[in-house]
């Protein structure tokens, strides 16, 4: 029997919030889970030296992971799915059939264009391989990369076409057509891809090894008829949310599998054309809204299949060597013995530091971050991002007072004061003075904020101003923690100061 709910179609968010409260009460998630080394969090207190690193099971030490995947490369992936996922800041995985994508519309049936999916790749959605022709691979001969109609040819040339058309990312994951595979097909997939997806009603464990990488399970929602209103699809949404809540409680990785996504008003027309288990925009939006709440509570990490594959394989292969350590600085070599061209995803790491390090400067390659330490049991730690084989990791005691280097105020000259408060989160005030000039009433003044790599973050002031004292507020909402530089520029005068954002 179908569950019935009164829901306003254009208010999926309201519905999802209700769902969130219901399921949070019924299915509370566990707060602690084993990390990749098999420890509980508290085991950090067992570290014998500062600089000891423990990688979390999932990014940012979230309880679980989740991936969206959509098959075949339909126009609706660009027109509907992309917009919904982008609204919530989620990245999805899209498995393509390269010969069915065209350079312009009208294209082939309901398939999209290369430019659509190229744009999505720059928005950090993943483009994976679904073969060339969607043939059942278990029925094809093994063949080779030169012989059409063979397993090798389908897998190799699909990946090759995607990499050539979308050079900004590597195609490293695969979805079996019809979710049909066997040991032979898996072994060939392992030559060209880092993981491959099947269909299953179970989440994936946090530790994956060997051939299990080529049998990643994905939940395909199947809807019962009739589907006359969005209410008719709510029981399937409840069941799927129940499934995700179970994966959260068990620290697992859930994967969603879907095909076309359209407004509910277009759903029955699509079903009439033989579309396979399409879902509605309203249904997907409600699911995303619920996941957004779970993500905000750090219960779940929503990311592409490729990036979660990277994270888990790097985590399982991770090693570190403490090169040097003292009370001021620690140098650590980190690596994973994997292919750096593919495996370059930041890992979330608890790193032990001396008890008197309230703030810590973490540096690796061109990456710099300032982190606040905290206690886990009897250990003082930071939670930071590290990239295996990304260069020497250096952590050092950081004193925010060193950036408070206020200059003596000269009323006859330009002055830029230290921002207050500092450190700050997320707003701070910057004060500056402009000397009075008898020859001109106003002077050109700009104040610009940069990151430590010199990239412009925001222009706060850019106008003519008369002599006097001024303040401007900098809002760093949406920016990551770290050091920033703000610069006053006028004529040949340039003054810069540093400020620290700590979230």
**Which single residue is written with the structure tokens 């389908």?**
154
Among the candidates 338, 363, 398, a domain finishes at 398
What 3-state class would DSSP assign to 331? strand
Instruction: Quickly tell me which residue has 């889970």 as its tokens.
Output: 33
Cα–Cα dist 87/222, whole Å: 25
Note whether 44 and 118 are same-domain residues.
no
CATH number at residue 472: 2.60.40.1930
Residue 10 lies in a domain: no
Q: What is the pLDDT of residues 307-362, one digit of tens each?
A: 999 999 999 999 999 999 988 999 999 999 999 999 999 999 999 999 999 999 99
270/283 same-domain check: yes
User: What Rg value do the Cα atoms of the chain yield, rounded?
Assistant: 27
Per-residue pLDDT of the chain (503 residues; tens, 9 = 90+): 333 333 333 434 444 444 444 444 444 433 333 333 333 333 444 444 799 999 999 999 999 999 999 999 999 999 999 999 999 999 999 999 999 999 999 999 999 999 999 999 999 999 999 999 999 999 999 999 999 999 999 999 999 999 999 999 999 999 999 999 999 999 999 999 999 999 999 999 999 999 999 999 999 999 999 999 999 999 999 999 999 999 999 999 999 999 999 999 999 999 999 999 999 999 999 999 999 999 999 999 999 999 999 999 999 999 999 999 988 999 999 999 999 999 999 999 999 999 999 999 999 988 888 898 999 989 999 999 999 999 999 999 987 655 444 444 445 678 899 998 888 899 999 999 988 776 777 888 999 999 887 889 999 999 988 888 899 999 999 898 888 999 999 876 889 888 888 87
Q: Are residues 227 and 328 both part of a single domain? A: no
Please check whether residue 174 lies inside any domain of the structure. Answer: yes
Please check whether residues 81 and 124 belong to one and the same domain: yes
Give the separation between CA 126 and CA 302, rounded to whole angstroms.
13
Q: Does a structural domain hold residue 89?
A: yes
Phi, psi of 53 (to 5 degrees): -120, 135
Burial 76-97 (b: 16+ CB within 10 A, else e): bbbebbbebbeeeebbbbbbbb
Same domain, yes or no: 391 and 478: no
CA distance 115 to 332: 43
Quickly tell me which residue has 């709910």 as its tokens.
5
Torsions phi, psi for 52 (to 5 deg): -70, 135
Instruction: Give the model confidence (pLDDT) of 438-492 as tens digits.
Output: 677 788 899 999 988 788 999 999 998 888 889 999 999 989 888 899 999 987 6
464 is a domain residue: yes
pTM for this one? Answer: 0.78
- Cα–Cα distance for residue pair 126/103, rounded to 1 Å: 19
In a domain, 25, yes or no: no
Residues 388, 484, single domain; the answer is: no
Contact predicate 139/151, CB 8 Å: no
Based on the domain organization, do 307 and 328 belong to the same domain?
no
- Using left for φ > 0, alpha for ψ between -120 and 50, and beta otherwise, residue 444 falls in beta
| Residue 265 in tokens | 């008003």
Contacts of 320 (CB under 8 A, 6+ apart): 51, 53, 332, 333, 334, 335, 393
**Domain end marker among 398, 418, 453:** 398
Residue 97, domain CATH: 3.20.20.370
| Shared-domain flag, residues 152 and 280 | yes
Q: In whole angstroms, what is the distance from residue 162 CA to residue 73 CA?
A: 12
> Does 476 lie in the same domain as 347?
no
Residue 491 belongs to domain spanning: 402-501
CATH number (domain holding residue 50): 2.60.40
Which of 214, 111, 121, 119 lies closest to 170, judged by CA? 121
SS3 state of residue 150: coil
Regarding beta strands 415-416 and 427-434, do their DSSP bridges make them parallel or antiparallel, or are they unpaired?
antiparallel
Buried b / exposed e over 275-305, threshold 16 CB at 10 Å, is: beebbbbbbbbbbbbbbbbbbeeebbbbbbb
Same domain? 266 vs 187: yes
Run of H or E including 83: helix 82-88
Phi, psi of 56 (to 5 degrees): -75, 155
The answer as to whether 82 is a domain residue is yes
Cβ–Cβ under 8 Å, residues 267 and 256:
no
Of 398, 422, 450, the domain-final residue:
398
Residues 98 and 200 in one domain: yes
Give the list of residues 6+ apart from residue 272 with CB closer than 8 angstroms, or none: none
Do residue 344 and residue 422 come from a single domain? Answer: no
DSSP-based helix, strand, coil % in the chain, nearest 5: 30, 30, 40
- Whether 407 is in a domain gets the answer yes
Residue at 233 is within a domain = yes
The pair of three-digit structure tokens given for residue 226, joined into one six-digit string: 């009739």
DSSP symbol at 480? P
Residue 134 and residue 177 in contact, taking contact as beta carbons nearer than 8 Å: yes
Give the total number of structural domains in the chain: 3
């Amino acid at each position: 029997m179908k569950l019935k709910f009164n829901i306003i179609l254009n208010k999926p968010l309201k519905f999802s919030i209700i769902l969130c409260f219901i399921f949070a009460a019924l299915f509370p998630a566990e707060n602690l889970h084993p990390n990749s080394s098999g420890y509980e969090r508290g085991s950090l207190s067992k570290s014998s030296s500062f600089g000891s690193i423990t990688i979390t099971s999932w990014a940012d030490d979230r309880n679980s992971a989740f991936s969206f995947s959509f098959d075949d490369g339909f126009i609706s992936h660009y027109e509907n799915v992309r917009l919904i996922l982008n609204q919530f800041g989620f990245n999805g995985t899209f498995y393509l059939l390269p010969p069915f994508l065209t350079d312009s519309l009208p294209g082939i049936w309901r398939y999209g264009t290369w430019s659509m999916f190229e744009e999505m790749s720059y928005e950090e959605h993943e483009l994976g391989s679904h073969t060339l022709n969607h043939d059942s691979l278990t029925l094809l001969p093994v063949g080779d990369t030169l012989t059409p109609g063979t397993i090798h040819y389908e897998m190799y040339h699909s990946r090759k076409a995607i990499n050539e058309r979308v050079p900004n990312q590597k195609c490293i994951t695969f979805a079996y057509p019809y979710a049909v595979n066997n040991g032979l097909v898996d072994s060939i997939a392992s030559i060209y891809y880092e993981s491959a997806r099947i269909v299953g009603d179970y989440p994936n464990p946090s530790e994956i090894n060997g051939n299990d990488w080529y049998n990643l399970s994905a939940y395909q929602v199947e809807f019962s008829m009739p589907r006359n209103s969005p209410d008719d699809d709510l029981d399937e949404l409840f069941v799927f949310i129940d499934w995700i809540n179970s994966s959260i409680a068990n620290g697992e990785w859930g994967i969603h599998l879907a095909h076309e996504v359209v407004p509910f008003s277009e759903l029955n027309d699509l079903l009439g054309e033989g579309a396979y288990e399409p879902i509605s925009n309203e249904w997907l939006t409600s699911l995303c809204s619920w996941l957004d709440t779970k993500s905000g509570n750090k219960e779940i990490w929503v990311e592409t299949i490729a990036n979660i594959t990277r994270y888990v394989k790097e985590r399982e292969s991770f090693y570190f060597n403490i090169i040097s350590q003292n009370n001021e600085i620690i140098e650590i070599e980190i690596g994973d013995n994997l292919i750096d061209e593919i495996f370059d995803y930041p890992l979330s790491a608890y790193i032990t530091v001396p008890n008197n390090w309230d703030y810590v400067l973490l540096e690796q390659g061109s990456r710099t971050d300032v982190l606040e330490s905290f206690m886990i049991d009897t250990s003082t730690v930071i939670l930071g991002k590290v990239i295996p084989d990304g260069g020497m990791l250096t952590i050092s005691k950081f004193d925010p007072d060193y950036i408070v280097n206020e200059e003596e105020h000269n009323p006859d000259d330009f002055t830029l004061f230290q921002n207050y408060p500092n450190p700050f989160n997320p707003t701070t005030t910057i004060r500056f003075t402009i000397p009075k000039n008898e020859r001109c009433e106003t002077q050109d003044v700009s104040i610009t904020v940069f990151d430590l790599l010199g990239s412009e973050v925001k222009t706060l002031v850019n106008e003519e101003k008369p002599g006097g004292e001024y303040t401007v507020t900098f809002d760093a909402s949406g920016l990551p923690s770290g050091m920033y530089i703000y610069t006053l520029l006028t004529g040949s005068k340039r003054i810069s100061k540093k400020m620290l954002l700590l979230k």
